[in-house]
Structures are given as structure tokens and as C-alpha cells.
Amino acid sequence: MELRKLGQSDIQVTPIAFGAWAIGGWMWGGADEKDAVKAVQKAFNLGMTTIDTAAVYGFGKSEELVAKALKDTPRDSYQILTKYGLDWTSDEGTFSFDSEDNDGNPVKVYRLATKDRIKKECEDSLKRLQTDYIDLYQIHWPDPKTPITETMEAVAELIEEGKVRAAGVCNYKVEHVNEALKTLPLASNQVPYSMINRGIEKDIVPQAVEKGMHILPYSPLQRGLLTGKITPGYTFSGYDTRKDSKYFTNENIKRANELLAEIKPIAEKHDATFAQLVINWTANQKGVGSVLVGARNEQQVIDNAGALDFTLSKDEIDQITASANKFSLA
């Protein structure tokens, strides 16, 4: 895959990145470790060399699996994007949510992005990832109690120390980004974005374009809903938070499938799956740098990589957008 410059940094990323949330098993009903390692390796072999993970994914498990998969691969041939700012080891921060680990034990997660905490998190991630630097270090969620200036100063120091190459943010609103930019440049803002979840087009995307940043959209398939494989009455296994999501009510599953039926002729024209069509459309949206797409096995990776095997015309992109414009949640 052709590499793209991320924002105004010197980081080069692939237009589709391997999203490593699902391989950690956390919130996805578990994951098979062997399948996860093979999935990361398949992504690399297909040219998807940008890997997006986080300390909290599987409570360290995702980062460890990424390292295991790429342990014999030259470090400069892939890009690691990871995150900090969610603490499950203490109750010092601001309570964020209740969760469960992969064994079903209750876990409380807190938002904490103080300078000391970030420095410790970075060292822990470097150890789990078995590397001496992180390409893009991103705050996972805003910390309401810690000044953004303090958080960004910590990352700036990590950049000076050579442990981080560039800074990014996740789930930041316009005002958060403006405040962060007073301290250091940002390469990207990672936010949820899909064909049926497009709220960021109003303000976050325009801001990113204006400031020379890129958007890293996550959940472009709306956690599997836009694959066409989920139908009303679908049963989710284990600790899978999709069962509690507004997008996965029977009525909204029905509406999403109606949207997919409307754009099916375009998919068929390109011999593409719904997922491939949706990913391709997302990669062509304004301000997008790299689309984060998760996978838990090799076949899912192969399917995702095929999203760039065809080119959508402007008319086709406009047709898909027009169909998406008609979608609304029940």
C-alpha cells in the first residue's frame, strides 16, 4: 500500500490501518491468540504496515500480541500507533466505566493523564511492544481533571527523549484540540466515524483540515454492522458491548441493512463486499489519513485489504453518500 504522510509530522501511514482493539479480546467477547498473531502478520504481509493499538486493549494484551507477531520484523518497516490515559491499576483518576477483563473479572477504568502517569505508561507500552520508540502516541480520552497543557508537555518531553515520534489525540472535541495545539503540534485526531455515524463532519473534520491534521476514523464498519452479516435477533457472546449499543437494536440493524441493500449495485459492480465498499468510501472522505479496521483472523484481514483493490468514481462516492444521508437511528 502507498504510504501517506500523517498531518504535518514525518510519520508515514497506510490508508488502511490494522485496528488492534478486537485482538485484545476486551469488549469483543474474547479472541484467539494464535489467530490474532496470524492476523497481524497477514496485515503486514499485505502491506498494511500501520498498526493501531492501546494500552487498555485487553489490559496490555493487544500490545503484547502485536509485539509477538512482529518480533522478527525490522522496526522501521511498520508503524506503531498506541494510546495512553486510561488506568485500570488504581483509582487515582476520574472514573470512566466499569468493565471486565478477558477472564470475566470486574475492572474499573479511570481517565488519568498526569505527567507522571504518562511517563510510566509510555515505559510500560514500550516494554509490551518490545520496541524503543512509538511512532504516534495518542491520548485515549480527555482527562477532565488534568490540564491539557500538562498532558501535552509530557508527550513533548517524550518526543525530545526519542521515545515518541509524533503526538496525536483521540476523542477530542474542537476546544480540546485548540488547547492542545498551544503546547505542541498534533498529527491526528482519532474519532469514531462511519457511514451511519457522521457527526464529526460538522466541526471536527473542518478543524483538522484547517490545522493540517488528519482524521483517523475508528469503527468505520460500525463494529461490524455495516458488513451486512448482522441481522435482527443476532446474539452476541461473552462480554460483548455491542449488545448494549443503540446501533444494534433490531430496528437499527434493519435500517442499516436497508442502506446496504441500496448501495449493493455499486458493490456488485466492483465485485466487492459491503465491508470493502464501506472502507473504500471512508478512505475517500475529506481529512481522512488512515482508516482503522479491526480483524481477529487472517481472512478478515484479507477481506479488509481488498477494500483498496478498486477505485470508486466521484459519482459512485456521491451516490453512496446520498444513500447514507437518508439513514437515521430509531
57 catalytic per annotation = yes
Q: Which long-range contacts does 27-32 make (Cβ < 8 Å, 24+ apart)?
A: 27/99, 27/239, 27/240, 27/241, 28/240, 28/296, 29/236, 29/237, 29/238, 29/239, 29/240, 30/102, 30/237, 30/238, 30/239, 31/58, 31/296, 32/296, 32/297
Neighbours of 248 (CB within 10 A): 21
Residue with cell 498506541: 82
Dihedral, CA atoms, 172, 85, 95, 201, nearest 10 degrees? 20
Residue with cell 482508516: 291
Distance CA 284, CA 198 (A): 14
Task: Determine the residue type at 126.
Answer: L
The torsion angles phi and psi of 280, rounded to 5 degrees, stand at -60, -45
Q: List Cβ neighbours of 1 (8 Å cut-off, separation of 6 or more).
A: 14, 15, 16, 46, 47, 48, 49, 305, 308
Q: List Cβ neighbours of 121 (8 Å cut-off, separation of 6 or more).
A: 55, 84, 85
Which of 144, 213, 204 lies closest to 175 in space, CA to CA?
204
Whether the Cβ atoms of residue 167 and residue 214 lie closer than 8 Å to each other: no
DSSP 8-state symbol, 164: E
Catalytic residue among 57, 110, 172, 218: 57
Catalytic residues: 57
